[in-house]
Amino acid sequence: MKTRLLSVVVAVLLLAGCTLPGQARSDGRPVVLTTFTVLADIARNVAGDHLAVESITKVGAEIHGYEPTPGDIAKASKADLILDNGLNLESWFTKFVESAKAPHAVVSDGVQPLDITQDAYAGKPNPHAWMSPLNVRTYVDNIVTAFSKLDPAHAADYAANGKAYQAKLQDVQNELVTGLAGLPKNERALVTCEGAFSYLARDAGLTEKYIWPVNAEQQATPQQISSTIEFVRAGKVPAVFCESTVSDKPMQRVVDATGAKYGGVLYVDSLSEADGPVPTYLELIRHDAATIIAGLTGRS
C-alpha cells in the first residue's frame, strides 16, 4: 500500500513537471517564443513577470537564413504564443510555424516600411524596422494586444508596462537624433556591411551606404565592394562599420582601399550576452549611436 501511494505521488510530481503541447510550463506561466533576441527583450519589457519569454535564435546568431533545429520545433509545439518580426526578416518562419499550434503575431504590423533600393532585394521592404525606436512603439502596441489576448487577466499590466517602455523608447530616440545631429555635413554618411540601418539613417538624417542589402549566402560581390569603395572615396567618409553577426572582412577591404577608419561593430540582428555591450534593445540603440558618432567624429 505504501509503495503504491509513493508511486502515485511520483506520477503526480512527474506530471506537474512536464509540459504538454499548448500548455504552460512547470512554473505556471504561459510561454512566448520570439524569433530573435532583440524581440525577446522588447517583449519581456511588456510581459513583466507574467509570461516566460524566450528567443528561438541565440545571441550572435545569423537570423535571416536561420535553420530551425528539431529542438526549436519541439519548443514551438509547446509555446502558447509566437512573435515574429515580419517584413520578410525570418525567411524560415513560415515553414517553422506550420508545425506549431500556437497563435502567432507579427509585431511590425502597422509600421510604414522603407523599401530596399539596391540589388536583388530592390523594392522589397527593409525588415530592420526595429532600428527606429519610433517603430518599436508600434511593435509594443502589437505585443500588448497579443499578450492581452493570451492572458486577459493581466491586460492592465501589459498596457501599463507597454506605456512605460514606450516612454523609454522616446527618450532613446531623442538621444539618438540629438547625438547624431551634431555631426558636420560631410560626416553624415553611414557605411555598413548589411543594409540594416535605413530606418535609423532616416530618423537621424544620415546618408546610408551598405555592401549588401540583407545578410544571405551570397555576400560582398566584387561590384558591391567597388561600389562601396567609390562611395567612401567620393564622400571622403572618415569611418565605416560592420555588424556583430557577420564577418567584417569585406569591410576591411574597403578600409584598405580607401584609408577610411574601421569605426567598430554595430549591433542590429542580435543582442550581446548579458555581460556584453548590448544586453538590451535600448542599450543596442545607445551603443550604435555612440559608436557611429565616435567613429565619424573621432571623438568618444
Binding interface with Zn ion (CB under 5 A): 196, 215, 269
H/E stretch holding 166 reads: helix 155-181
By beta carbon distance, the residue nearest Zn ion is 269
Q: How far is CA 290 from CA 175, 243, 297, in A?
A: 10, 14, 11
Number of C-beta neighbours around residue 208 at 10 A: 20
Residue number, 258 or 270, with CB nearest to Zn ion? 270
Residue number, 96 or 147, with CB nearest to Zn ion? 96
**Residue 88 and residue 127 in contact, taking contact as beta carbons nearer than 8 Å:** yes
Residue number, 108 or 215, with CB nearest to Zn ion? 215
Report the nearest approach of Zn ion to the CB of residue 164 (Å).
Answer: 28
Report the nearest approach of Zn ion to the CB of residue 202 (Å).
Answer: 16
Which cell is 298 given? 573621432
Residue number, 215 or 244, with CB nearest to Zn ion? 215
* Measured distance CA(273)–CA(235) in Å, rounded: 36
Report the nearest approach of Zn ion to the CB of residue 269 (Å).
Answer: 4
Report the nearest approach of Zn ion to the CB of residue 170 (Å).
Answer: 24
Which cell is 109 given? 504590423
Q: How far apart are the first and last CA of the chain?
A: 74
Report the nearest approach of Zn ion to the CB of residue 128 (Å).
Answer: 6
Total count of residues recorded for the chain: 300
* Measured distance CA(300)–CA(274) in Å, rounded: 23
Which cell is 164 given? 512605460
* Measured distance CA(110)–CA(242) in Å, rounded: 29
Report the nearest approach of Zn ion to the CB of residue 276 (Å).
Answer: 18
Report the nearest approach of Zn ion to the CB of residue 268 (Å).
Answer: 6
Residue number, 62 or 297, with CB nearest to Zn ion? 62
Residue number, 269 or 288, with CB nearest to Zn ion? 269
Contacts 24+ apart (CB under 8 A), 215-219: 215/62, 215/63, 215/64, 215/65, 215/243, 215/245, 215/246, 215/269, 216/64, 216/65, 217/65, 219/246, 219/250
Residue number, 96 or 210, with CB nearest to Zn ion? 210
H-only helix segments in 182-236: 198-204, 222-235
Report the nearest approach of Zn ion to the CB of residue 140 (Å).
Answer: 21
Residue number, 35 or 148, with CB nearest to Zn ion? 35
